[in-house]
Structure 1
Amino acid sequence: MKIALCLLSYRPDQPSGIDRSVGALVEGLRALGHTPLVLAAGPPGDREPGLIRLKSVVLPHPATNADVLSALADPRPVVEEVGGILAEHQVDAACWGDTLWGLGYLAPAPDGVTTALMVHKIRPSGEDRWRRALAAADVVCPASDYLADGGAEAGLDTSRWTTVPNALHTLIPPTSAERREHLRGTGPVRIVSRADPAKGLAELMEALPDTWTRPVEVVLAEAGFELQPGGQQRTLAACRRVEAARPGLVRILPPLGWNEVPGFFAGGAATVISTRVPETFCFTAAEALSVGTPVVGFDLGNVPRLAGPAGRTVPLDAGPGALWELLANLLADPDGYRRAATAAPGRIDRFTPEKSARALLDALGL
């Protein structure tokens, strides 16, 4: 089968859950013997097999929703180009990676091409583009059971919904029990995040207790898009101020490739998910769990469901300082830590590229 996936922002190794979701589907489809294509905004330059950069949509870096809407003010060029590409390559199905950034609301597929709308966020029921995207797709594929439940709770017709779970690109053996106990005692806290204000990293780092002595290593990466203009730079600046104030204790590290993240987490005592809005999947939590690294975060979104007994959570209104206290308590509890680390790898058994791709094909009836 030939399966096209459309996401304007797509770039290999971009620190974005939606991009990573598409990348894992590409990997899984290839592993199952199918041919994936990815349609993304121009300009051309990447040499990724199957990646097609559109000539009709060119976005600034980083781009905002307003930039996309401006580029699509006259949708006819992109509708014609995408439709032509799908026809030329004789694709069997097209997956719109998002309502706006994935062109789901335009649904530019020729007749006879089965379509899926990938859902990474439940949007307000009155949003016109969201309603158009839902109506146009043959099937709707939320990226987690949390999102599927959210659709039902929002009163949406979910009869055509099938979860196609996000998947991890790389799975490596979990850290050994002996090494894990050593990390509990002296290992660094390791965090990986996009430098988005909503991720709460600036507030988390600013709340680092004066009494904290364990190393904190934070990988912060800028994406090719942002919701708040300049928000990524402000987050980076705030975290670097803490690094400068706590030399040798806090390190702000450069971005990692998708395949490098699990290995980084394998050498950490624990990770912290400080996002102040609900995570609808949370790749970094899943990657930490995959190598036996416990997760600490707020009690909202998919993180508590994903981590289960391998995580510890506090209410959002407890604030970022409570996350450090919770983390300190976990690291000081040998038995509780061991139980969390032992339970962690089993939490992500479903999230392989092949299983995700198989779920997509089943949803599409292929």
Structure 2
Amino acid sequence: MLNGDRSRTIAFCLLSYRPDHPAGVERSLAALMKGLRQLGHTTLMVTAGPPQAADADEPDLVRLTSLRLPRPATNDDVRNALADPAPVVAEVSTVLAERGVDIACWGDTLWGLGYLNAAPPKVRTALMVHKIRSAGDERWLQALARATVVCPASTYLAQEGARAGWDTGGWRTVPNALETMSPAVLGAERELLRGEGPIRIVSRVEPAKGLTELIEAIPPGWNRPIELVLAEADFEFWPGMQTDVIDACRAAAARRPDLVTIRPALGWQQVPPYLAGAAATVISSTEPETFCFTAAEALSVGTPVVGFDHGNVPLLTGAAGRVVPLHEGADALWAAVKTLLDDPTAYHAAAAAAPRRVAAYTPAAAANALLAAIDNAPPRPDHIAVPRPAVPGSSASH
């Protein structure tokens, strides 16, 4: 067992967590828990909401009774539910104490209760960072000040924190990991996909994913099938957001019924093999992706990725796909896909490079990074000044 020979109990907290939830933070924490169990440690997930049938698939999942949220919920719903945080703090602290938790990992500032830091005394804590928030977000400031260590989920996020003016000297990156790995599709089978395979896109439903714009930009002469998997999350930024996006995507797809098929959500383990059967995938997000699980999963199975030149997607993809300037819009994404598919040499070079781009993103590697971050963090003083950046950061939601 690495990071010491003592088995430890590590708890995670994320109010929206459920197995197969189509959201990056949930998938990140699931992979971390898997890695910790592989190393011989015990994990615990503290979440909210009514029990789900899939709960049985997640060992040691605890649903809070002191907090109720609608499904889907908004940030305002969470804030209103925590107007009096005392009952939630008491319940979380009791659960962690009764389970003998050694380390508590807050999955988010608000949705992961990082700002409350409801851990018993002497329990070391990690704030898992998946978005860089603004200097005006008091909960973010409280979460930063109270955690034993701050752990961004990608090098890109750590760099964004520094660019926003935060003191990131004590931050320790715990890279996201791929919970499920499938065999890469290369060689003759990959050539068949290059010639006639579909374009497959898997995405959570959100306006900034650029899905409607991508469908509307399909070139007039395009004749290859396009499959779009739309997954609804248990959170949204305003009531009805996901319904609006789905309706817009369906309306756009109805104008090209010969090409576009919209499919229902897939489970976590289904996504990599599904993407393995694609000629390519497209990441059309108009806001920077701070990791991008679907891009990483496509790369893991040898499927090239085409996306915009911002966020973590270019860092993930490298030579295993193509990126285009954001200002050129969705038309440029389709042009890049066509150019890549029409060049057998370039296409197979990208496919061969793809699995190597994400080979290091294993659950065990992420787990070791988390334990090292906690073990090497200096003790925090009893009174901690709330940090302020030199330059205001960017605002972000769940």
Query: Where does residue 75 of structure 2 map in the other structure?
Result: 65
Query: Where does residue 391 of structure 2 map in the other structure?
Result: none
Does the aligned pair in 1 maintain the 2:150–2:172 contact within 8 Å? yes
The code of the aligned residue for 1:20 comes to R
CA RMSD of aligned residues (A): 1.1
Does the aligned pair in 1 maintain the 2:186–2:352 contact within 8 Å? no
Shift of 1:171: 1.0
Task: Please tell me whether residue 294 in structure 1 is matched to residue 304 in structure 2.
Answer: yes
Shift of 1:248: 3.5
SS at match of 1:55: coil
| Aligned mates of 2:97, 2:137 — CA distance in 1 | 30
Question: What is the count of residue pairs matched by the alignment?
Answer: 366
SS at match of 1:162: coil
Q: Which residue of 157, 167, 171 maps to 1:147?
A: 157
Task: Please tell me whether residue 116 in structure 1 is matched to residue 132 in structure 2.
Answer: no
| Aligned mates of 1:96, 1:293 — CA distance in 2 | 33
Query: Where does residue 361 of structure 1 map in the other structure?
Result: 371
Q: Deviations over 1:194-229 (max 9, x none)?
A: 011111111111111221100001111100001132
Q: Deviations over 1:71-110 (max 9, x none)?
A: 0011101010001111111100000000000000111111
Shift of 1:182: 1.1
Shift of 1:338: 1.2
Does the aligned pair in 1 maintain the 2:78–2:111 contact within 8 Å? yes
| Aligned mates of 1:173, 1:200 — CA distance in 2 | 29
SS at match of 1:164: coil
Ranges in structure 1 where 5+ consecutive residues have no aligned partner: none
Does the aligned pair in 2 maintain the 1:242–1:250 contact within 8 Å? no
Shift of 1:314: 1.1
| Aligned mates of 2:30, 2:94 — CA distance in 1 | 23
TM-score (norm 1): 0.98
After superposition, residues 215-294 of structure 1 pair within 5 angstroms as 215-294=225-304
Deviating runs (4+, > 3 A) in structure 1?
Answer: none
Ranges in structure 2 where 5+ consecutive residues have no aligned partner: 1-7, 377-398
Q: Which residue of 9, 24, 41 maps to 2:16?
A: 9
Shift of 1:150: 1.2
Which moves more between the two structures, 235-244 or 17-26?
235-244
Does the aligned pair in 1 maintain the 2:16–2:49 contact within 8 Å? no
Shift of 1:326: 1.2
Query: Where does residue 341 of structure 2 map in the other structure?
Result: 331
Q: Give the percent of matched residue pairs that are identical in Structure 1 and Structure 2.
A: 63
Does the aligned pair in 2 maintain the 1:279–1:303 contact within 8 Å? yes
| Aligned mates of 1:271, 1:249 — CA distance in 2 | 15
SS at match of 1:42: coil
Which moves more between the two structures, 318-327 or 261-270?
318-327
| Aligned mates of 1:249, 1:228 — CA distance in 2 | 31
Query: Where does residue 381 of structure 2 map in the other structure?
Result: none
Higher relative CO (Cα under 8 Å, sequence separation at least 6) belongs to 2
Shift of 1:162: 0.8
SS at match of 1:90: coil
Shift of 1:49: 1.9
| Aligned mates of 1:180, 1:133 — CA distance in 2 | 46
The code of the aligned residue for 1:233 comes to T
Query: Where does residue 27 of structure 1 map in the other structure?
Result: 34
